[in-house]
């Protein structure tokens, strides 16, 4: 499996922390005014009124935004619609091959994409992470982020270099932790791997069903033994935030956006990459097979890759844009969050989600259900 090139990512991510970009910011021509609508099915909380209004003002196209909470919800909805109902969807790159397998998305016409607007490392390396299948591109990378360790600074203060997935599963977190069941098993697996307790490397679990069973049997047994640590399981952004906001969680494995939102509310919640490596994902825009407003879909993709749109998105979510030049426009708050989450060599240790084939997802869900019902 190919990983995203660390050097290329570091340039883009370092820029997000306020450093100079390798490529200069150049003037761009204005957008031609369009008409009609574009129907976008994206993660809940990704597109606020400011972003949607700015797109409509720039292009004359009215965006209709529908939110979802999980990759599986997106996939199931699109399958129910036979690839219709929306002009754009926003899957994580490692899941794109699932949509291709079921004929739910169409190849991207790269001649209609302003590729120079995308960080070169994101464009080039998304190829190996799932955006390109059988030589055809099905996704334009727009953003990346991580699932790592969120913590209450008062109850469970953590620092980079010592912070570990093991902090979620240790005695001090008894009855205080929140996790998403299936990805928590991977985080726990990374800790067990670092401790020398897995029968083979965790990445092998993504290469064959036999390896997956051998590895996840060990992880599941450990997770069940430590299940008393979990005060709440989460499946989407609202549930993850609620675990800290109202249900007493003091530590958890969450998305970056979860901790950022809680911090903006004034709660003492931090977010840091564990020493085993933060679980990193890339996302992007794909065009469903039944999209009816193709020109408007491409207009949104190209607009979202402008520095101004990328910065609006990152400032709102603390998820990192792949738009060249967006880092120069970030708020001080967004820069500070990034610097605190990924200090030192954290970016070099990122653990990128491998492509998750359908067989892996099926078995993954079985282990998730066994963990939840134990």
In a domain, 119, yes or no: yes
Is residue 327 within 8 A of residue 16, CB to CB? The reply is: yes
Whether residue 177 sits in one domain with residue 119: no
Co-location of 113 and 61 in the same domain:
yes
Q: pLDDT of 255-312, one tens digit each?
A: 999 999 999 999 999 999 999 999 999 999 999 999 999 999 999 999 999 999 999 9
pLDDT of residue 56: 97
- Residue 26, pLDDT score: 36
Condensed to tens digits (0 to 9), the pLDDT of residues 116-157 reads 999 999 999 999 999 999 999 999 999 999 999 999 999 999
Residues 135 and 208 in one domain: no
Domain span at residue 331? 6-144+280-347
What pLDDT sits at residue 25? 35
* 19 compared with 324, residue with greater pLDDT: 324
Residues 198, 237 within the same domain = yes
Q: What distances in angstroms separate CA 39 from CA 61, 93, 236, 282, 316, one per listed residue?
A: 10, 20, 22, 22, 21
pLDDT, one tens digit per residue, over 204-222 is: 999 999 999 999 999 999 9
**φ/ψ (deg, to 5) at 188:** -60, -40
- The CA distance from 314 to 8, in Å, is 19
pLDDT for 35 equals 79
In this structure, the answer to whether residues 363 and 221 fall within a common structural domain is: yes
Q: What is the CATH number of the domain that holds 83?
A: 3.40.190.10
The β-bridge partners of 286 are 89
Together in a domain, 151 and 34: no
- Integer Cα distance of 149 and 349 in angstroms: 14
Backbone angles phi, psi at 277, to 5 degrees: 110, 130
The helix/strand/coil state of 275 is coil
Nearest to 282 by CA among 104, 132, 85: 132
Residue 92 is classified by DSSP as B
Give which of 171, 179, 176 is closest to 154, Cα–Cα: 176
Statement to judge: residues 75 and 218 lie in one domain:
no
Record the pTM: 0.89
Residues 258 and 369 in one domain: yes
Asked if residue 263 and residue 127 are part of one domain, the reply reads: no
Q: Is residue 1 part of a domain?
A: no
pLDDT, position 10: 41
Among 15-19, 187-191, 247-251, whose mean pLDDT is lowest?
15-19
CB 329 within 8 A of CB 70: no
Averaged pLDDT, 14-40: 54
Other Cβ atoms within 10 Å of 157 Cβ, number: 11
Q: What is the CA radius of gyration of the chain?
A: 20
Tokens of 170: 């240790």
- The predicted pLDDT at position 11 comes to 43
Q: Which two tokens stand for residue 149?
A: 């360790």
**Across residues 71-90, what is the average pLDDT?**
96
Mean per-residue pLDDT of the chain: 92
**Residue holding tokens 């003002």?**
57
Residue 236 belongs to some domain of the structure: yes
Per the listing, tokens 């134990």 go with: 374
Q: In which band, very low, low, confident or very high, does the pLDDT at 159 lie, cut at 50, 70 and 90?
A: very high
Say how far apart CA 299 and CA 164 lie, in whole Å: 42
Mean pLDDT of 49-74: 97
Phi, psi for residue 15 in degrees, rounded to 5: -65, -35
* Angle in degrees, 0-180, between the axes of helices 358-373 and 209-225, rounded to the nearest 10: 20
Instruction: Look at residue 181 and tell me whether its pLDDT is greater than 60.
Output: yes
Q: Are residues 272 and 328 in the same domain?
A: no
Whether residue 62 is predicted with pLDDT greater than 80 in this model: the reply is yes
| Cα 97 to Cα 360: distance, rounded to the nearest angstrom | 12
Residue 337 DSSP label = H
3-state secondary structure of 298: helix
Total domains in the fold of the chain = 2
pLDDT of residue 103: 97
Structure-block tokens of residue 350: 């990122």
More confident residue, 3 or 223: 223
Q: Both 153 and 211 in a single domain?
A: yes
Contact 289, 359 (CB under 8 A): no
């Amino acid at each position: 499996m190919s990983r995203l090139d660390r050097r290329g990512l570091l340039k883009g991510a370092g820029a997000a922390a306020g450093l100079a970009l390798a490529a200069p910011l150049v003037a761009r021509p204005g957008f031609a005014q369009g008409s009609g609508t574009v129907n976008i099915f994206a993660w809940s909380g990704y597109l606020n009124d400011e972003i949607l209004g700015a797109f409509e003002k720039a292009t004359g196209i009215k965006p209709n935004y529908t939110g979802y909470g999980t990759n599986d919800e997106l996939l199931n909805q699109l399958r129910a619609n036979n690839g219709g109902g929306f002009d754009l969807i926003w899957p994580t790159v490692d899941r794109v091959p699932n949509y291709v397998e079921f004929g739910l998305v169409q190849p991207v016409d790269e001649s209609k994409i302003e590729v120079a607007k995308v960080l070169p490392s994101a464009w080039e390396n998304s190829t190996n992470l799932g955006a390109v299948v059988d030589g055809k591109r099905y996704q334009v990378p727009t953003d990346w982020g991580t699932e790592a360790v969120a913590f209450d600074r008062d109850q469970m203060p953590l620092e980079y270099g010592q912070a570990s997935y093991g902090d979620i599963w240790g005695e001090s977190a008894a009855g205080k932790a929140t996790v998403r069941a299936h990805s928590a098993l991977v985080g726990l697996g990374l800790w067990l791997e670092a401790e020398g307790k897995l029968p083979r490397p965790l990445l092998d679990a993504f290469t064959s069903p036999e390896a997956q069973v051998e590895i996840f049997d060990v992880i599941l047994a450990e997770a069940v033994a430590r299940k008393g640590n979990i005060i709440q399981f989460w499946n989407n952004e609202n549930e993850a935030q609620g675990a800290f906001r109202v249900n007493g969680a003091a530590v958890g494995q969450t998305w970056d956006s979860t901790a950022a939102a809680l911090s903006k509310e004034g709660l003492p919640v931090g977010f840091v990459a564990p020493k085993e490596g933060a679980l990193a994902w890339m996302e992007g825009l794909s065009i469903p097979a039944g999209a009816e407003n193709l020109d408007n879909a491409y207009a949104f993709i190209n607009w979202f890759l402008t520095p101004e749109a990328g910065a609006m998105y990152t400032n709102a979510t603390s998820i990192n844009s792949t738009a060249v030049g967006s880092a120069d426009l970030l708020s001080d708050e967004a820069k500070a969050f990034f610097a605190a989450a990924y200090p030192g060599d954290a970016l070099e240790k990122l653990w990128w989600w491998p492509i998750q084939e359908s067989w892996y997802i099926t078995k993954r869900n079985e282990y998730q259900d066994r963990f939840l019902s134990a």
